[in-house]
Structure 1
C-alpha cells in the first residue's frame, strides 16, 4: 500500500475558464527542493506548491506561461502539458503534440453524434517544447521561474526562455517525425486512438527523453532522445544526433502499455506506464537500469525492465477515474504519483487532493 500526501490548492487560482478545478486534471509533477511543480492538462499555467510543516504541500502559486514564452495561440487554447523536467537551471516543458477527436454527446441525434466522432481537431499550443529559467529566491528559498536572468552557477552567462521553432500547425520535431518509418503513419491519428501522443519528459545533462503514450507497436512503447541547441530570437533547434536523424529511438516492450511519465535518478529511468487507448487497465511503474548510459538506438526487452509495482486505478463504478498521469522523484527512496480525474475518496475538502508515495528502495 502506498502512503499519501495532501496537495492543497488555492481556490482563487484553481479554476480554469471552463470551471474545471486544477486538482481534477493533474498531468505531471516535478519536485525541486521543497517545491512541487504541477500542471493541469486544460490550462496554460503551471502550478507551484511548497512543503508545509505538517508534511503536506500548499502555498499555491500559479505561473501563466504566456508571460514567459511565445504561445502560438496565446491563452486561447490549452497547452496540454504532459511533462516537466529540470536541468542546468532550466525548467523544461512539453505539450502532448497530439490531435483530439470530438466526443459524442448522448442527447444529440445519432447523426450528430456520428458527425462529432468523425471530427479531428488540434490545439496550436499543444506543439510546445520549451525551457524557462528556474532559480531559487534567496529570501524564501523557493524555486521560481523567470523570462531571463543571470546564471547562478556562472556569472558570465545569461539564462533565457526559449522554445523549439514552430507555429500553430506544428514544430520542427513534428516535421521530422512525419518521415519516420515507425511514427510517421500515426502523426495524423488522435492520441486516444493510439495515435502520436507525448506524455512524458525526463532530463539528463543535455539530453531530453520524451515518452510516448502512443503509438504502441505490437506491444512496444517508444522513448525519443533529443538534444536542443539555441537558434535566434528566443527559439531552439534540434541537434543532429545520428547521421540519419536528429533524435534516437528506444523501444521498450511494456506488453502493450504506453508511457504516461518518465523520471531519471542517477543512470536509471523510472517509467509510469498504462493503457494507450481511452480505457481502464493496469498501470505500473518500471525501472530501466542504466538507461542514460547508452550511445545508440535500443530495443529494451521485457526481461531488461524491472516491474516495481502497480498503481491504483479506477474500475467498476469508479471507471475512468484515478488515472495515474504524473510521476516525480520524491526523494532517493520514494516516487510520487499524481492522478487525473481523482475519485471522491482521493479528494480532501473542496480544493485539496492526495498523491501517492511509492517506496522503491
Structure 2
C-alpha cells in the first residue's frame, strides 16, 4: 500500500511538473517577443524535463527496486545455530554443501581456513573439521574468502582478487591518515581459487591445489582497468563461485558497469585463462553470491559499498545480459524478492574518524549483509535456502523459502545451457 501511495504521489507531481512545463512552453508562443528568448526558455524546459522524470522514478522506487519485486517474497523460516569454535562467526562470507549434503562448509573473509559442520538437529550444525587452505598460515593471514562451491566431495574456494585501501584511524594525525588513504594494497593471497577433495568421513583427502583468475582479468578489455582500483571503490571484487555445466562461474560484487551491469566469469579450474565473460543486470546492484540450481542460477544482489540499497534474490537463466537487436532477453533475470534483514542501525550514524554525524540516510541501514547461500531443498514450487550473514551479532545464518519462477509458456522452468 505504501509503495502504491508513493507511485500515486509521484505521478501527481510528475503530471504537475509536465503541466507546468507545457504551460510554460505554450506561454512562450503567446508572449515571447524575441525569438532568441523563446529558444533560451525552451532549452531550459528541455533541461527541466529529465529532472521531473528522475523525480518520478525516485519516488516510485524504480531506481532502487526491481519492478516486479513487490509480487515476490523471500520468507524467513528459522534462525540456524552453529555450535563449536567457529572462526570469525560475525563475519561469515561463504557457505557450501559438500559430501552429498552431509557437510555444511563455511568460511569468513578474515581468516585462512574453511570449516566443516555436520547437522546435529533441526536448524543446528556442529563443527566437525577445520582445514587451513595454506600451510603454516596464521589466524590473521587474510585470504578474503568470498565464495564456496561443492561438487559432492570436491570443494572450490575463491578469494576476492581485490585490492584494498587502508582504513582511516581516529587516533592518527591528519597527515598520517592522508598517507594511509594513499595506500592501495595488493595482496596475492586474495587472488586464489582453491580446490581439494574430502573423504567419506569429511576429512581432507587430497593436496590443496590453487590457481588464479588474475591473468584472465589482466587480459580482459572490460575488467583489466579495474584491477588497480580497491574493491570497495568499484574495483575488482569477486564475491561468489558456483558450479557451471562446463566448469565454474565467478560472480563479481564490483565493478558494476554503466547502466547497471555486473560481471560473471565462466571458467575452468585447469584453464582459467580461457574463461568467458558475461554480464547480468540487477538494477545497479553487485552480486554477493551465486548458486547453481536446476534451471539456472540464484543470485544475491546488493550494494557495491554501503549504499542504502536492499539485498534482493534473483533467478538468472545464464544468458549474457548485454542487449541487442539480435537477442531477446525477456525473462532472463527474475526478481524473487527482498531478503529480510532485521538488525538495523538508525538512519544517521557517527563517523569513526571525524566523530561527527554523517548525513542521514533515507531509511535505516542493515547491519547484516547476506553473503552466501546454499540449497537445502528444491521443489517444483519453492527453493529452501540457507543464507549466512556478515556483520550480524545475533543471527549468523537463517533458513529461507523463495517462490520458484515459472516458464511463461507452460508454467515450468527449463535449464539454460551456457555456450563457451
Structure 2 length as normaliser, TM-score? 0.66
1:121: Cα distance to partner?
A: 1.2
Aligned equivalent of 1:272: 300
Q: How far apart are 1:223 and its partner, in Å?
A: 0.6
SS of residue matched to 2:392: coil
Larger-gyration structure (1/2): 2
In the alignment, what sits opposite 1:252?
Answer: 280
Partner of 1:147: 206
Q: Describe the shift of the 1:270–1:123 C-alpha distance in structure 2 as closer, same or farther (beyond 3 A).
A: same
Structure 1 unaligned spans of 5+: 16-21, 138-142, 149-160, 165-170, 230-236, 240-245, 347-352
Q: 1:222 — aligned with what?
A: 263
- Structure 1 pair 35–184 and aligned structure 2 pair: CA distance change class (3 A): same
Q: Report how far residue 315 of structure 1 moved.
A: 4.2
Give the CA deviation at 1:88: 6.2
1:211 correspondence with 2:251? yes
Answer yes or no: is the 8 Å Cα contact 2:387–2:397 preserved in 1. no
**Pick from 89, 92, 98: which aligns with 1:26?**
92
Question: Which piece of structure 1 moves more, 320-329 or 183-192?
Answer: 320-329
Q: CA deviation at 1:102?
A: 0.9
1:40 to 87, 108, 118: 108
**Match for 1:299 among 287, 301, 322?**
322
Equivalence for 1:349: none
8 Å contact from structure 1 (residues 87, 204) kept in 2: no
3-state SS of paired residue (1:52): strand
Count of residues in Structure 1 that have an aligned counterpart in Structure 2: 300
Tell me which of 119, 131, 141 is aligned to 1:63: 131
Residues 86 and 127 in structure 2, CA contact (< 8 A), matched pair in contact too: no
Match of 1:334 in 2: 384
Alpha-carbon offset, residue 319 of structure 1: 3.9
Residue 312 in structure 1 maps to residue 353 in structure 2 = no
Q: Does the C-alpha gap of structure 1 residues 302 and 115 become closer, same or farther in structure 2, counting only changes over 3 Å? A: farther
Cα gap change, 1:89/1:49 in structure 2, threshold over 3 Å: closer, same or farther? closer
Partner Cα distance (2:127, 2:141) in 1:
27
User: 1:285 corresponds to which residue?
Assistant: 313
User: How far did 1:31 drift?
Assistant: 2.1
Distance 1:47 1:302, change over 3 A: farther
- Secondary structure of the 2:255 match is strand
**Are 1:52 and 2:92 an aligned pair?**
no
Alignment correspondent of 1:180: 220
| Corresponding residue of 2:198 | 134
TM-score by length of 1: 0.76
Q: More strand per residue: 1 or 2? A: 1
* Residue in structure 1 matched with residue 238 of structure 2 by the alignment: 198
Question: Structure 1 residue 61: deviation in Å?
Answer: 2.8
Choose from 108, 112, 115 the match for 2:172: 108
CA distance in 1, matches of 2:155, 2:293: 17
Aligned partner of 1:18 in structure 2 is none
In 1: Cα distance, 2:102 partner to 2:269 partner: 28
Which one has a larger percent helix, Structure 1 or Structure 2?
Answer: 2
Unpaired runs of 5+ in structure 2?
1-74, 324-328, 347-363, 405-420
CA shift for structure 1 position 205: 4.3
The CA RMSD measured in Å over matched residues stands at: 2.4
* Alignment partner of 1:123 is 2:187: yes
> Out of 142, 163, 166, which is 2:210 matched to?
163
CA contact (8 A) 1:87 1:205 kept: no
Distance 1:271 1:354, change over 3 A: closer
